[in-house]
Amino acid sequence: MSEQTQTIDNPHSAIKPPNPRFRNWKIVYSKLRKNKAAMIGGSLILFFIIIAIVGPYFTPYQPQTQNIVNKLQSPSGEHWFGTDNYGRDIFSRVIHGMSITLYVGFSSVVLGATVGVFFGIISGYYGGTIDAIIMRIMDVLLAFPGILLALAIVSVLGGSLQNVIIAVAIFSVPVFARIVRGSTLGVKKLEYIDAMKALGASDFRIIFKHILPNVTSPIIVQATLNIATAVLTASGLSFLGLGAQPPTPEWGAMLADGRNYLYNAPHVALFPGLMIVAVVLAFNIFGDGLRDALDPKTKE
């Protein structure tokens, strides 16, 4: 039997058309490649993630090992970033702090996005009283600056890394909720949503199979930008003594330790501060490029 006959007898053996969603992401990637700044930011993020995963296994010293004899040494071949006031190797602490910082950033944003997307899509889809109640709660949360709201939450819950994640997630919720609500209001007016309702599809199916996939672009962009905000907020709380507690090698806490030695040993605060700037800048640059790439108004 010829191949042509097999294809006719079994139409499923024919070549399937490409997945339109896969093609859309290829278009997004092609746009992103043209933005050199975004590609640099994305490459830095990938580099930071790799360092956070494998870096702690290759550091020359343990991050909590003290050696008072070698305290406040300047950067050298033995200690690349120098040592702190307890003689601990700053390079090793910075590498270990990378995993802590990215863990806080990703965990808080994932938690805040999950809750915010749920409330935003429910609010936009059902409208009416449900929409009014949810949005007024979000307005109350948005009335407070993010860092002050996180500071108040951590003050009540107590200073710890887990409470920092909860605090950052809570002030991230209203941002995602409002973005998703606006996108949902636009998608639910489309004709195919009315067709699904006419066919008897349940609200659950319409929301999570037809509306949610069409509002993912702004969620991804906002999540990328929010990670930078989460890193800054978590570092700020640790700097104030409300985040990671000593001797945890968290960059904000390392900055707090180094502020007393800015004149005679500036390297103690310099390198943790540079790492915070690098991570925040990388996520902001990549987020801006991703926003432009996902904008349907921009041409390929």
User: What single-letter DSSP state applies at residue 211?
Assistant: I
Residue 248 confidence (pLDDT): 85
155, 166 Cβ separation under 8 angstroms = no
Please name the residue that has the structure tokens 């930078």. Answer: 228
Domain count, the chain: 1
65, 57 Cβ separation under 8 angstroms = no
Q: Which residues contact 125 (CB under 8 A, 6 or more apart)?
A: 184, 188, 203, 206, 207, 211
Q: Is residue 120 in some structural domain?
A: yes
Give dist(CA 185, CA 187) in Å, integer.
6
Q: Which of 114, 225, 101 is nearest to 169 (CA)?
A: 114
Q: Is residue 95 in some structural domain?
A: yes
293, 268 Cβ separation under 8 angstroms = no
Q: Which residues contact 280 (CB under 8 A, 6 or more apart)?
A: 228, 231, 232
**233 sits in which H/E element:** helix 216-239
| Exposed/middle/buried for residue 139 (C-beta within 10 Å: 0-12, 13-18, 19+) | exposed
Residue 120, domain CATH: 1.10.3720.10
Return the structure tokens found at 124. Answer: 């936009």
- What is the Cβ-side half-sphere exposure of residue 169, based on CA atoms within 13 angstroms? 18
Residue 202 confidence (pLDDT): 83
101, 228 Cβ separation under 8 angstroms = no
Which residues form the domain of 268?
Answer: 25-51+85-294
Residue 14 confidence (pLDDT): 41
Q: Is residue 109 in some structural domain?
A: yes
Residue type, 26: K
Q: Torsion angle of alpha carbons 150, 152, 154, 159, nearest 10°? A: 120
Q: pLDDT tens track of the chain, all 300 residues?
A: 444 444 444 444 444 444 445 456 677 777 778 888 889 999 999 999 999 999 888 888 888 888 888 888 889 888 899 988 888 999 999 999 999 999 999 999 999 999 999 999 999 989 889 999 999 999 998 888 888 888 888 888 887 888 899 999 998 999 999 999 998 888 888 887 878 888 887 888 888 888 888 888 889 889 999 999 999 999 988 888 888 887 888 899 899 888 888 888 899 999 999 999 999 999 999 988 888 777 655 554
Q: Is residue 63 in some structural domain?
A: no
What are residue 83's DSSP bridge partners?
A: 89
Q: Which residues contact 160 (CB under 8 A, 6 or more apart)?
A: 243, 244, 245
User: What single-letter DSSP state applies at residue 210?
Assistant: I
Q: Torsion angle of alpha carbons 223, 227, 229, 232, nearest 10°? A: 180
Q: Which of 243, 241, 237 is nearest to 257 (CA)?
A: 241
User: What single-letter DSSP state applies at residue 208?
Assistant: I
Q: Is residue 17 in some structural domain?
A: no
Give dist(CA 37, CA 172) in Å, integer.
26
Q: Is residue 203 in some structural domain?
A: yes
Q: Is residue 18 in some structural domain?
A: no
Q: Hey, CA dihedral for 119, 103, 292, 192, is it positive or negative?
A: negative
Please name the residue that has the structure tokens 């979000």. Answer: 138
What pTM was computed for the model? 0.83
Residue 21 confidence (pLDDT): 53
Please name the residue that has the structure tokens 């904000």. Answer: 252
What DSSP line would sit under 50-118, residue for residue? HHHHHGGGS-SS-TT---GGGTTPPS-SSSTT-B-TT--BHHHHHHHHHHHHHHHHHHHHHHHHHHHHH
Q: For residue range 147-172, list pLDDT tens digits in order.
A: 888 888 888 888 788 889 999 999 89
Q: Is residue 12 in some structural domain?
A: no
